[in-house]
Structure 1
Amino acid sequence: MRVQANGIPIEVEDTGEAGRPAVVLVMGLGMQLVAWPAAFVAGLQEAGYRVVRFDNRDSGLSRHFHHLGVPNLMLASMRHRMGLSVQAPYTLEDMAHDTLGVLDALGIEAAHLVGVSMGGMIAQRVALAAPQRVLSLTSIMSSSGARYLPGPKPHVLRILMSRVPGRGEEAIVEHSMKFLRVIASPAFPSDEEATRERVRLATRRAFNPTGTMRQMTAVAADNRRADELPRIKAPTLVVHGQDDPLVPFACGHDTARRIRGARLVGIPGMGHDLPPGVVDRLLHSIVPHLRQTAA
């Protein structure tokens, strides 16, 4: 269903169990709500939670911001590395207010927030902007955004920054698969054909590469969040793959040390994806975190 959140249309999937505590899942860069594994959503439901997913602005079926143009990623990246300000079409704070708008539209006073990658950064921003709305925070394979932290491995960055070679659905799917292979979890293999089919269905649902570029610029422009993280009061769990080639483990370690009382769970052999084995490990850590928060 589509709701009005922060003044824009946002596509939402809500399991809708009235009376249950809500867990809001915030997806990462360029990804859609359908990227959350069904087993992860089902695991949270079985644990007694109402699960809300949504497409971030500029992705999926939520509003696209083509009128804001295509940002210069090379310039944004260079200015970010130099510690200079980056001009972005919108900010992660705007995206955090989208998240709060989803809560408002669904009549949810406060929720547990679970964000992955860029979604973890947005969730951090929500916890800073509206602490009274956040029951707990879980930041998965994300970062504080501190400038000195290590970045993606060179071969991963090359694919991330490259354009789809060719046109049509097959070219898009093959390009996506190439990227997913290089960020995959070495200790948790996934079914490549099943992954390919999910990518194909997601591509048919929506394809907005310039939206991903605008989101990337928003991430680069958010250069003060690291210094603000000590203000977060929500009980926080940080989960990070120890073999993440896109957002290295040091980023998760840095996030956890900045948030008072945060617990860090490092998963050996986990990369930057959510295959079945990783989903099991996530649920094993997240469900007790949610329950301890309620207690």
Structure 2
Amino acid sequence: MDRVRVNGIEIAYDTFGDAGGRVLVLIMGLGAQMISWDEEFCAELAAAGHYVVRFDNRDAGLSTHLHEAGVPRLPAARGEGVPEAPYLLKDMAADTAGLLDVLGLDAVHVVGASMGGMIAQEFAIRYPGRTLSLTSIMSTTSPDVGAPTELALGALLAPAAPDRESVVRRAVESWKVLGSPAYPADEARVREIAGQAYDRSFDPPGFGRQFAALLASGDRTAALRELSVPALVIHGEADQLVQLAGGVATADAIPGAKLLTFPGMGHDLPRALWPDFVAAITELTTRAAVL
């Protein structure tokens, strides 16, 4: 893992595969760290001909945490209004572009999961000349489309756990709500990743700042309609956190986008579906490379 200076902050990142491969940038979601892109999954993408770059977003993992920005006041209920955010998703997309600048990478294939899908959409909108293809996974065009169920929202916004043991236990409880009913997670692996994430960085206010950015960034539908980039939308039909309508709206908004949905998939990346994900992403990046 390395760190680079980007937009006045530090971004932590690592890479997989041959630097001569098709560059695939992985952007993770709300409060999640780059380790949520499993190393074995990254290795499978690399084996399919990609040079994989994963990184910690600002306010997550080992990238800069904007402690001086404080804790934004988030809406207590739906429809209460838009919070004041210290930054927006477009700024996180600019972080991605800045990382690529430092790495000497120009045009890339972007893949984002959940809020990372929103950031990937922002990247494609704002840097169309640098976007070879866009893959949006379990994401949406707007916080109002595919909004979470009450059960999922409760799991997402539960008060911060006070210590490592509680964080790990909370992760297991959340996965039972948010995960894939047809593809039960390996509880030991969930515990391992949650423990690793806690050890790397535990910053509930950082989660709050990212969430404020998500809520304050508005609707991307009109801008997505202007894209002319090969696009793939992947979504679970049993997703309670970003319901299927979010994926459908994303695919409908992007001209020519392919929508790939999976029965029984929730808001995670089940290992059993990795071959399908890798095959679909590889087909997209291969096709985009010859356009």
Same fold (TM over 0.5): yes
Equivalent position of 1:32 in the other structure: 33
| Structure 1 gap segments, 5+ residues each | none
Equivalent position of 1:104 in the other structure: 101
Letter in 2 for 1:154: E
Letter in 2 for 1:59: A
How big is the shift at 1:153? Answer: 1.2
How big is the shift at 1:284? Answer: 2.4
Residues of 1 paired with 2:139 and 2:273: CA distance?
15
Residues of 2 paired with 1:90 and 1:19: CA distance?
34
C-alpha RMSD over aligned residues: 1.5
Contact 1:96–1:123 (8 Å) recurs in 2: yes
Q: Does 1:159 align with 2:117?
A: no
Matches within 5 A, 1:3-82: 3-15=4-16, 17-74=18-75, 77-80=78-81
Q: For residues 176-218 of structure 1, give each alpha carbon's deviation from its aligned partner in whole angstroms, at most 9, with x where no partner exists.
A: 2211221111111221112211211111111111111111111
Q: Does 1:208 align with 2:209?
A: no
Q: 1:114 to 1:191 in 2, by over 3 A?
A: same
Q: For residues 263-290 of structure 1, give each alpha carbon's deviation from its aligned partner in whole angstroms, at most 9, with x where no partner exists.
A: 1011111100112112222112111111
> Which secondary structure state, in structure 2, belongs to the residue aligned with residue 43 of structure 1?
helix
| Structure 2 gap segments, 5+ residues each | none
Letter in 2 for 1:292: R
> Which secondary structure state, in structure 2, belongs to the residue aligned with residue 245 of structure 1?
coil
Equivalent position of 1:118 in the other structure: 115
Q: For residues 154-191 of structure 1, give each alpha carbon's deviation from its aligned partner in whole angstroms, at most 9, with x where no partner exists.
A: 111112111135x3210111112211221111111221
Letter in 2 for 1:95: M
Equivalent position of 1:289 in the other structure: 284
Residues of 1 paired with 2:195 and 2:278: CA distance?
27
Indicate which of 244, 248, 252 corresponds to 1:249. Answer: 244
Indicate which of 185, 188, 192 corresponds to 2:187. Answer: 192
Q: 1:136 to 1:230 in 2, by over 3 A?
A: same
How big is the shift at 1:146? Answer: 6.0
Q: For residues 82-125 of structure 1, give each alpha carbon's deviation from its aligned partner in whole angstroms, at most 9, with x where no partner exists.
A: xxx54211000000000001100100011100000000000000
How big is the shift at 1:76? Answer: 8.4
Q: 1:191 to 1:146 in 2, by over 3 A?
A: closer
Contact 1:76–1:86 (8 Å) recurs in 2: no
* Structure 1 residue ranges (4+ consecutive) displaced by more than 6 angstroms after TM superposition: none
TM-score where L is the length of structure 1: 0.94
Matches within 5 A, 1:128-147: 128-145=125-142, 147=144
Letter in 2 for 1:268: P
TM-score where L is the length of structure 2: 0.95
Equivalent position of 1:223 in the other structure: 218
How big is the shift at 1:75? Answer: 5.4
Q: For residues 6-62 of structure 1, give each alpha carbon's deviation from its aligned partner in whole angstroms, at most 9, with x where no partner exists.
A: 221000112262322210000000000111022221111111110000000000000
How big is the shift at 1:260? Answer: 0.7
Equivalent position of 2:85 in the other structure: 88
Letter in 1 for 2:261: G
How big is the shift at 1:140? Answer: 0.2
Contact 1:77–1:220 (8 Å) recurs in 2: no
Give aligned-pair identity as a percent: 44
Residues of 2 paired with 1:108 and 1:220: CA distance?
30
Equivalent position of 2:257 in the other structure: 262
How big is the shift at 1:225? Answer: 1.6
